[in-house]
A and B are shown apart, each in its own frame.
Chain A
Amino acid sequence: MRITQSMISKNLIEGLKNNREQLNESQRRISTGKKHAKISDDPESFSKAKRLSKQINQNNQFLKNASSANAWVMTTRNAVENLSTNVSKLREISLQGASDDLTASGRQALSDQIQYIIDDTMDILNQSYLGKKLFAGTKTKVDNAFSVANDGSISYNGNASDINNKLSENLSLAINVSGQEVMDTNIFTIAKNLKAAMTDGSSEVKDDLDDVNTLLEDINQISTSLGYKENQIYLSQNRLDTANMNLSSLLSDTEDVDLAEAITVYNSQEIAYRAAMQTAADVLKLNIMDYLR
């Protein structure tokens, strides 16, 4: 092939330009730590990375949901445990009241205690968490979930709806215990009956004892179901954490640069660049003029 001087210099310039481009790209990789700067550098791995980071973000959102659900459920469970304590007290009182050798004033004292328990139960059930009523279903902003009318009857102002929290793509958990569930245990009716029976006499109290036992069972069941919910939240938190760990390492594989490799590549490119410049300098010096005298 016939090679002219301008072909040589053009090829040299082209080669050096390519070398510089490669060096620039390697340098960018090392300094940013990312394999690609633009999507078009590698659309496939970009869209994979995007999917992964989206999944991670979504999982983080689920984790947030889970921790707020957890706080709510724990607060609810504490409240229900207090309820359970109250019912246990109620049971003790009714056992005492079932005894025949109790004086009238003793019965009155027990009856007062029952009133105190009813009031405390109302307090527990009207509890708020972060400004929301714990036991009002989804009517979380009512003034009182439970209110006492003038005639002493107790009514529920909330509804029976669930508050659902999303813990994963397919898992929604009802985190609340609605006041209706508590009402359905007849806690107030039983307590009031008991209070009335207390002044009436021991045999009436004995009749109510079975109701109190059932009530205790019912309340404990609610408490157990909350424990089960807590456990479920804990499990999904665990799952999400593990998933995120795996996803993060996948993401890093997809978009992060292996520094050792990148630096090695950079070094070999640098050597190529130096060699190209060296030969360029030598070749361009070759000139027929030096030999014609």
Chain B
Amino acid sequence: MSITSIYEASRRSLSNQQAAINVTAQNITNANNENFSRRKIDFNFKSTGISSQNVERVHDKFLENQIRLENQEYGRANVQSSLFKNVEIIFGEPGEGSLSNVMEKFWNSWDELSNDPESEVKRILVGNSGEQLANSFNSLNDRMENLSRETASMAQDKVTKVNALIDQLGVVNRTANRSAELLDKEDIIINDLSKLINIQIKEDETGRKSVRSGGYSLINGSEVTKFSVSSTDSGSLQKLEITTERGDKVNINSGELGGVLEFNNEYLKSYKNDIDDITKSIIDKVNEKHSTGYGLNNSTGNNFFAGTNAKNIQLNKNLKDDFSLIATSSAQNTIGDGSIAQEIANIRSTLDDETGRSIDDNYQILVTNVSVDGNKENFISQNQDKIITQLRAQKASYSGVSLDEEMTNLLKYERAYQAAAKVAQAVDEIMKTILQLV
């Protein structure tokens, strides 16, 4: 063995320790970066010295997949739990101006009128509370439609995000050098994607990912498909759908986008239908009684409400101009008879023959359903959050940077560097000694 080879060994040693310190520095830089997987130097190399191949990315693929899977359900439930808060605000229960209060006032006003059917003042009260009830239904309907429009634009935002992420993944797939940094980036993209939509990921032999969603390919190699939102009018509320560029319908059922779609297409739609049903039964039942009754001037056959649903319910125009048309008595010329008014007041607690429930019951059930549904999604969201936090903790435990470790490593490499320098110095002395022999 020649002395010069020892020179070479110590030079290599110096550069290796330097490379190791460089990796340590990189780790310390990213100590608080959640998406960073710490790097480890593999000193098990051949004579060529340390290279990027010796830098190992400490990473658990299984954990990463697990997190992505849970992300999809979390995204769905989380976006819904915040949307449900809006629905609760729309209903405003329990509260002064809530529909249940307005409804109660309406029925009570009929009760009052039935005690005093001759009274003009109580007629005005009935007329006003009827108008208030109609307005409450109208504005409830408006606010629901607004919320639906809002969810439509939310869906649009999410799709835009998905498309952007897919573009980025395309760039990653086209990059030849799959460095640790690129892999970190790829993880972030796929993670973000998994929060937005349901995805299945396949990996080819080079590690490049292809992503499918709802039966359609989003990215395959560098071949990218874009999604878009389309809305179809389904009666009163628009139905949101996701389609590919070729117009195929994609089944998005989880992730934030899936949550937004489900919220609009199922929950909101069913609440809207329920409200319409309740409105219609109030209109029908009140009109049915009212049209048989007689008003102050023996007027009869008048409807109290006009319209068929929450959007168009209003007070009968003629009656609005002349409250003496409000019918209270069951026969002509019997002004003191409040029996029709009483029957109308009784509608609130009259049980339906088919369902066995009253109008008040139906509304109460709807309001309770809204909060039970909201609670369900909120519970799932919190639960998923806990699962993901735990998985992330596992990931951090495995892939995260520990400053204690890095500082200790730094000391270790520093000492090794000093030792390598010492070796160089020793060889140099030896060389000097040899040269003096000559």
Contacts and interface: CB of A to CB of B under 8 A. Distances in A.
Interface in A47-76: 47, 49-51, 54, 57-58, 61, 64-65, 68-69
Interface in B294-315: none
A3 interface: yes
Contacts of B60: none
B141 interface: no
A3 B397 contact: yes
A50 B339 contact: no
A43 interface: yes
A286 B411 CA distance: 19
B49 interface: no
A132 B408 CA distance: 100
Contacts of B398: 2
Nearest to A176: B336
A4 B375 contact: no
A39 B94 contact: yes
A149 interface: no
Contacts of B32: 6
Interface residues of A, number: 50
Nearest to B403: A5
A139 B371 contact: no
Contacts of A10: 396
Interface in A198-239: none
A6 B401 contact: yes
B349 interface: yes
Contacts of A172: 342
A159 B336 CA distance: 11
Given A43-B375, A163-B337, A7 B118 contact: no
Contacts of B397: 1-4, 7
Given A38-B88, A132-B336, A169-B349, A4 B368 contact: no
Nearest to B81: A40
B373 to A, nearest CB: 9
A289 interface: yes
B186 interface: no
Most chain B CB within a 10 A radius of its CB, from A4, A6, A131, A163: A4
A45 B360 CA distance: 17
A54 B104 CA distance: 8
Contacts of A69: 115
B371 A46 contact: yes
B153 to A, nearest CB: 25
Nearest to B372: A43
Interface in A277-293: 287-289, 292
Interface in B41-91: 84, 88
A166 interface: yes
A137 B334 contact: yes
B34 A159 contact: no
Given A4-B403, A46-B371, A57-B104, A65 B336 contact: no
B116 interface: yes
A289 B112 CA distance: 80
Contacts, number: 126
B378 to A, nearest CB: 7
Given A39-B371, A43-B375, A54-B360, A137 B336 contact: yes
B367 interface: yes
A88 interface: no
Most chain B CB within a 10 A radius of its CB, from A1, A40, A140: A40
Given A139-B336, A166-B111, A43 B342 contact: no
B31 interface: yes
B389 A46 contact: no
Contacts of A161: 331, 334, 337
20 contacts: A2-B400, A2-B402, A4-B397, A4-B402, A5-B403, A38-B371, A39-B88, A39-B367, A40-B374, A43-B371, A46-B368, A57-B108, A64-B115, A68-B115, A136-B336, A138-B334, A138-B336, A159-B334, A161-B331, A163-B336
Interface of A: 1-7, 10-11, 14, 38-40, 43, 46-47, 49-51, 54, 57-58, 61, 64-65, 68-69, 130-133, 136-141, 159, 161, 163-166, 169, 172, 176, 287-289, 292
Given A6-B31, A61-B108, A130-B116, 17 more contacts: A2-B397, A5-B402, A5-B404, A7-B393, A10-B396, A38-B371, A39-B367, A43-B371, A43-B372, A54-B104, A54-B360, A57-B104, A65-B115, A140-B336, A163-B336, A164-B338, A288-B407
Interface of B: 31-32, 34, 84, 88, 93-94, 100, 104, 108, 111-112, 114-116, 118, 329, 331, 333-339, 342, 345, 349, 360, 364, 367-368, 370-372, 374-375, 378, 389, 393, 396-398, 400-404, 407-408, 411
